[in-house]
Chain A
C-alpha cells in the first residue's frame, strides 16, 4: 500500500471527489494561490500549508477559487452554494479565524435544515487547520473542536492519521450536512499507509487503535498519537491500555467508549483543548452518567491548561498534553484503589 502524508491524503481525497463530482468546488484564501500575482497566474502555493496544491492546475480556477481575506463571505458563500446545488469545500485557513465568521456557520448553515422545516440540504465541508505545535502563538494554534461539536446541525471531524484523513474527507464531501473537517497542522507531515482508491469512513464510528484490558484512553486528532505512544511504552508492564480514537467529535461514538469502560473499569480522556467544556469533560460526564457502576477509579482528564496557547516553544511544550503526561496519568489511575 502506498505510504503518503496526512497532507497528501487530504489532497488526494479532494482531487478524487472533484474528478467524480463536478459539483465539488473549493474556495478560500490562497487555495489556488497566486491569483493576480506578478508571476502570471500559475499555481503558486495551493494553500498556506500546500494541502490544496495541484487542484487549481487540474480543475481550473472556476472550481478552485482564491478569495479575499473575508471569512464571513467565504463561509457564507459556501453555505449558500451548498443550499442551492453545489457541494463546496470552503476553507477557513486557521480555525482560530472562526471568530470573525461564526455567524455564517452556527446561525446560518447549521440551522438551515431545522428552521426551514427539513427541506434544506447543505452539503458544505469547512476545512480548517487546528492545533498547537508550531509555535504559532495564541491566535493560530487553538483546538476549538469542542465548541463546534456543541452546535446542533454541525458535524465535526478530527482525523488522527493519514488513512482516516482521506476516508473522513471523502465522507465529509459526500455528506449532506455541514461538516467541519479539522486538519491538525502538526499532523500534516505524518506518513501512513493510504490506499490509492477512494473510500469513506462513517462518522460516529470510533477506532480502537490499541487493544487493552485495564484502562481506556479516549482521544482524538493529534493526541491519539501520544496516547498510542504511551500505551506502547507501558506495554511491557503487567497491565494493558486500550486507546479509542473518536475520529469524529460530532457525532460521538459513545457506545464504543462505554463498551471499553465496562471492560477496563478505568477511563482517561486526553484532549488538546482547554479543559472547561472540552471533549474531555463531555466524555467524562457521559461515562459517569451511563457506566458509573463499571468504574473502579475516578475518571482522569489530561488536557491543555485553561490558558491561551503561548508562543514560546518551551511554554507551548508545557501547554500540550504529551506522552509523559499521559503515561503518568495512566499510572496514577491504575494505582487508585477503591
Chain B
C-alpha cells in the first residue's frame, strides 16, 4: 500500500532520529561521560518504526529489550527525556533511576526497555489482556531478539497469546547475534517456523527494507486489532555496533562489518527508494537530517547540564504506600 507524503516524512524522521541518537550516544559513551552500559540500535531502525507507525499512543503498547532506545523513539517517547535518563539525570523520563535499559513511558504505551533477555513478552501479554478485557481495540507488540527467541518466557508467551486469542504481534528482530554468539549457532531451526507450531501466522521480512516491515506490520496489527489473534513477524536485522557500545566485535569478520553498513543500511535504502520514485526529494531529506542533528546537540547539552537526582530520591517510589 502506498504511503502518503506525511507518512513517509514521519517514518524517515523517526528512523533518522533513532540513528543519530545512537551514533551520538556512541561518541559520547566513548568519552566516558555516560554511566552504565548502552546497547545501540543502529541498523535496525526500520523494524521499530515499521511497527510503531501503525500503533496509537494511547491504546497500543510495546514491550522492549536491552537494545530499546529505537523502540522508545519509534513509540513517541521524548528524545530529550530519554537522553537525560541515559545520563542518569533528574530530568530523565524515569528521573534517572531507570537508565538506558529501563526507559519506560506508560503514557506513550511504552512498557519499558528491559534488561532481562526475554523479560518483556510475558508483560506484553498483560497489556493485550487489558485491551481485550476493556475492549479498547488496542494491540500489544513485544520486540524480541534472536537471543530472547530461545528463552522459555517467549515460548510461554506465544502459547498463552494463542490460547487466549490475544491481540498481539510477536516482533522478532534477528540481527544474527545473541550478544557475542551467532544465531546460526544458538538458535535452532527457524524463528518464523515456530509460529506455525503454535498455529499462528508467521512471516519473514528484510529488516533493512522499511517498506517490507511496514507492510507486514500492517497486516499483522490489523489482524490483531480485529480479533484475529496473535502472529509472528521475523525481520532479518543488521546490527551496526557490537552487543554494547565499546564491544570490539572480534567475533565478526571485517567483511561482515563493512557489508552491514554498506549494503544493509535501512536509511540509505529508504532514501534511494523514495527519491527514485520521486516521492520525496534529497533536499527535504537533508533538511530532516540537519534538524535531527540539531536536536541531538540540544539533547546532549541539556542532559549534561541537567541536575542529578537528589540524595533523597534513593528512597522514593519503591511503593505507592508502605508503613
- Contact, CB under 8 Å: B102 / A155: no
Q: Hey, which chain B residues are within 8 Å of A177, CB to CB?
A: 319-322
Q: Hey, which chain A residues are within 8 Å of B318, CB to CB?
A: 113-114, 152-153
- 1/0 per residue, CB under 8 A from B, across A142-181: the answer is 0000000000110100000000000000000001110000
- Contact, CB under 8 Å: A65 / B112: no
- Contact, CB under 8 Å: A116 / B123: no
Rounded to whole Å, the gap between the CB of B253 and the closest CB of chain A is: 35
Question: How would you classify the secondary structure of chain A's contact residues: helix, strand, loop or mixed?
Answer: mixed
Choose one: A74, A79, A115, A121; the contact of B320 (CB below 8 Å): A121
- Contact, CB under 8 Å: A114 / B126: no
CB nearest neighbor in B for A153: B318
Q: Hey, which chain A residues are within 8 Å of B123, CB to CB?
A: 76-77, 79-80, 83, 104, 108
Q: Hey, which chain B residues are within 8 Å of A67, CB to CB?
A: 160, 163-164
Rounded to whole Å, the gap between the CB of A74 and the closest CB of chain B is: 8
Q: Hey, which chain B residues are within 8 Å of A120, CB to CB?
A: 104, 106
Rounded to whole Å, the gap between the CB of B285 and the closest CB of chain A is: 35
- 1/0 per residue, CB under 8 A from A, across B296-321: the answer is 00000000000000000000111111
Rounded to whole Å, the gap between the CB of B185 and the closest CB of chain A is: 25
- Complex: how many Å from CA A68 to CA B111? 24
- 1/0 per residue, CB under 8 A from A, across B96-126: the answer is 1110001011110001101110010111111
- Complex: how many Å from CA A252 to CA B88? 32
The CB with the most chain A CB atoms within 10 A, among B106, B112, B156, B317, is that of B156
- Complex: how many Å from CA A158 to CA B228? 42
- Complex: how many Å from CA A175 to CA B126? 18
Rounded to whole Å, the gap between the CB of B51 and the closest CB of chain A is: 18
Q: Hey, which chain B residues are within 8 Å of A68, CB to CB?
A: 156, 159-160, 163
- Contact, CB under 8 Å: A76 / B157: yes
- Contact, CB under 8 Å: B122 / A104: yes
Rounded to whole Å, the gap between the CB of A241 and the closest CB of chain B is: 28
Q: Hey, which chain A residues are within 8 Å of B232, CB to CB?
A: none
A115-B119 CB under 8 A given contacts A73-B159, A152-B318, A153-B319:
no
- Contact, CB under 8 Å: B102 / A80: no
Q: Hey, which chain A residues are within 8 Å of B107, CB to CB?
A: 119
A75 within 8 A of partner (CB)? yes
Q: Hey, which chain B residues are within 8 Å of A70, CB to CB?
A: 156, 159-160
Q: Hey, which chain B residues are within 8 Å of A78, CB to CB?
A: 126
Choose one: A83, A111, A155, A176; the contact of B126 (CB below 8 Å): A83
Q: Hey, which chain A residues are within 8 Å of B61, CB to CB?
A: 84
Rounded to whole Å, the gap between the CB of B134 and the closest CB of chain A is: 7
A107-B116 CB under 8 A given contacts A113-B320, A176-B320:
yes
- Complex: how many Å from CA A27 to CA B122? 14
The CB with the most chain A CB atoms within 10 A, among B98, B127, B159, B160, is that of B160
A85-B319 CB under 8 A given contacts A77-B125, A77-B160:
no
Q: Hey, which chain B residues are within 8 Å of A82, CB to CB?
A: 126
Q: Hey, which chain A residues are within 8 Å of B164, CB to CB?
A: 65, 67
CB nearest neighbor in A for B317: A118
Q: Hey, which chain A residues are within 8 Å of B316, CB to CB?
A: 118
- Considering only residues 118-146 of chain B, those with a C-beta below 8 Å from chain A are 119, 121-131, 133-134, 140
B32 within 8 A of partner (CB)? no
A115-B102 CB under 8 A given contacts A72-B156, A177-B320:
yes
- 1/0 per residue, CB under 8 A from B, across A311-329: the answer is 0000000000000000000
Q: Hey, which chain A residues are within 8 Å of B153, CB to CB?
A: 72-73, 76, 103-104
Number of contacting residues on B, CB 8 A?
50
- Complex: how many Å from CA A127 to CA B156? 20
- Complex: how many Å from CA A88 to CA B130? 10
- Contact, CB under 8 Å: B317 / A113: yes
The CB with the most chain B CB atoms within 10 A, among A67, A70, A175, A251, is that of A70
A80-B129 CB under 8 A given contacts A116-B94, A117-B97:
yes
B92 within 8 A of partner (CB)? yes
- Complex: how many Å from CA A81 to CA B136? 13
A197 within 8 A of partner (CB)? no
Rounded to whole Å, the gap between the CB of B142 and the closest CB of chain A is: 10
CB nearest neighbor in A for B95: A117
Rounded to whole Å, the gap between the CB of B249 and the closest CB of chain A is: 28
Rounded to whole Å, the gap between the CB of B148 and the closest CB of chain A is: 12
CB nearest neighbor in A for B166: A77
A103-B129 CB under 8 A given contacts A73-B122, A116-B106, A177-B319:
no
**Seed contacts A67-B163, A73-B159, A103-B119; 19 additional CB < 8 Å A-B pairs:** A27-B129, A72-B152, A76-B153, A77-B126, A77-B129, A78-B126, A80-B111, A80-B123, A80-B125, A81-B133, A83-B111, A84-B130, A86-B129, A108-B123, A113-B318, A114-B317, A116-B104, A119-B105, A153-B318
Q: Please list the residues of chain A having a beta carbon within 8 angstroms of any beta carbon in chain B.
A: 25, 27, 62-63, 65, 67-68, 70, 72-86, 88, 100, 103-104, 107-108, 111-121, 152-153, 155, 175-177, 203-204, 251
7 smallest CB-CB distances across A and B, nearest first, come from: A76-B122, A80-B126, A118-B317, A117-B94, A117-B95, A81-B126, A80-B123
Q: Please list the residues of chain B having a beta carbon within 8 angstroms of any beta carbon in chain A.
A: 61, 63, 92-98, 102, 104-107, 111-112, 114-116, 119, 121-131, 133-134, 140, 152-153, 156-157, 159-160, 163-164, 316-323
28 A/B residue pairs, CB under 8 Å, sorted by A:
A27-B129, A62-B133, A68-B156, A68-B163, A72-B122, A74-B160, A76-B126, A77-B129, A80-B111, A80-B127, A81-B126, A83-B106, A83-B111, A84-B61, A85-B134, A104-B122, A107-B116, A108-B122, A112-B104, A114-B97, A116-B94, A116-B102, A116-B112, A119-B107, A152-B318, A203-B323, A204-B322, A251-B323
